[in-house]
Amino acid sequence: MPHHDNVALSGVIQHVFAHRFTLEAQGETHLADLGPKGAEAFPLEAGLAVTLEGERRPSEIKVTRIAARGRDAVLIHHKKPHHPPGHHHPDVPADPKRVLAAVQSAGWSAKGDPQRKPKHFEVLARQGRGPWTELHVDFAGTIYKQKSPDPAKWSVHA
């Protein structure tokens, strides 16, 4: 998992987009995210001077604490992605052959090549003559998610 740096900034909110906002601080513009519940607890407004702490991600700062003069500081806890109980991303090499073998072993017939993602593969498959399904399979070969395939991503014609 990539390491994200913690940052602390003081600046002025320039633009607000629901629970995200731009902050002008130290001569730079930063995109920050409070999350929906954080924005309920700390209403955002352009022109407000704030101090914040958070985790710098490639696209934005996930704010974990925000404060402004005359307001109580708010701590924000961001939800982690949901995976079934006991699911983890095993530390094994990404091998599409292992993934296809696991899919077949579970009774699925795959169509095309698995699509590689950072922590899993996505496979278009079906059981017997059943409907096409998008499977999410971790690198160890565990199928941990099944969903209807997106027609824009997959060609689901038999």
Is 33 within the bounds of a domain?
Answer: yes
Is 26 within the bounds of a domain?
Answer: yes
Give the residue-averaged pLDDT of 12-40.
95
- Structure confidence at residue 158 as a pLDDT band (50, 70, 90): very low
CB neighbours of residue 152 within 10 Å: 5
Is 155 within the bounds of a domain?
Answer: no
pLDDT one-digit tens code per residue, 55-84: 998 889 999 999 999 998 999 987 766 666
Same domain, 18 and 66: yes
Is 83 within the bounds of a domain?
Answer: no
Same domain, 10 and 70: yes
Candidates 155, 105, 85, 97; CA nearest to 121 is 97
Evaluate if pTM is beyond 0.85.
no
Total structural domains in the chain? 2
Is 57 within the bounds of a domain?
Answer: yes
pLDDT one-digit tens code per residue, 99-134: 999 999 999 999 999 999 888 899 999 999 999 999
Is 125 within the bounds of a domain?
Answer: yes
Same domain, 53 and 108: no
Same domain, 64 and 115: no
Q: Is the pLDDT of residue 12 over 70?
A: yes
Same domain, 100 and 45: no
Highest mean pLDDT, choosing among 20-24, 78-82, 83-87: 20-24
Which domain range does residue 115 map to?
Answer: 96-147
**Backbone torsions φ then ψ of 103, nearest 5 degrees:** -60, -45
- b/e 81-106 (16+ beta carbons within 10 angstroms → b): eeeeeeeeeeeeeeebebbbebbeee
Residue 81: per-residue pLDDT: 60
Q: Is the pLDDT of residue 135 over 90?
A: yes
